[in-house]
Amino acid sequence: MTDLDTLSLTIRKAQKGDRDAFGKLYDLFLNRLYRFIYYKVTNRETAEDITEQVFVKMFEKLPTYKETGLPFEAWLFRVARNQVIDFYRTRKHTVSLEKVMEVPDVEPSLIDRVHTTMTMDMVKKALVKLHDSYREILILKFIEDKGNEEISVIVNKPVAHVRVLQSRAIAALRKHVYDTYKQ
């Protein structure tokens, strides 16, 4: 039996009220969901709260999930994404307009110099400063290793748009790393 078959069976069992099956889904997806949420909200306690809510929400919505529709993981990530949006909405979180999306020109030689000394820590700090849409695309693409088609399903945007967002997100990330380097 393939991994997909096993997952499919586990989902069906969970939909019928099998406690062990639901526990298996929790074990299977906890790390990936938590990591996605953590790098979106960048706070451990908040990420824990939201992750727990996501699994309760997963249970509530599981009876409506159909395997002929979205792949389960994409469906689950979409639930997680919506839970983060709800979290910010209920806390009346507003996105600062200073987190602009356009990328001003920077001297190429400086970019190259930044590039050779760029570290993971610098990238992580820059990731936090990105606009949420950019950060989300980079998390899904590179940290969660999802394809553009799957990302487009999760964020509910066309694939072409996802590609554009991705290249702009990387440019914005490098700009923030450069700003940090300049300081």
**Binders of another protein in range 74-103 (CB under 8 A):** 78-79, 82, 85-86, 89-90, 95, 100-102
3-class SS at 131?
coil
Q: Which is nearer to another protein, 7 or 25 (CB)?
A: 25
Choosing from 173, 178, 182, 183, the residue that interacts with another protein (CB under 8 A) is: 173
- End-to-end Cα distance, the chain: 55
Q: Does 115 bind another protein (CB under 8 A)?
A: yes
79: Cβ contacts below 8 Å, ≥ 6 apart? 54, 57, 58, 61
Rounded Cα–Cα distance for residues 126 and 143 (Å): 15
Rounded Cα–Cα distance for residues 62 and 136 (Å): 24
Rounded Cα–Cα distance for residues 168 and 163 (Å): 9
3-class SS at 99?
coil
Q: Which is nearer to another protein, 8 or 15 (CB)?
A: 15
Q: Does 28 bind another protein (CB under 8 A)?
A: no
Q: Which is nearer to another protein, 90 or 183 (CB)?
A: 90
Residues 108 and 115: beta-carbon distance below 8 Å: no
Site for another protein in 39-58 (CB under 8 A): 39, 44, 48, 51-53, 55-57
Site for another protein in 132-151 (CB under 8 A): 132-133, 136, 138, 141-145
Q: Which is nearer to another protein, 7 or 36 (CB)?
A: 36
Min. distance of Cβ 3 from another protein in angstroms? 19
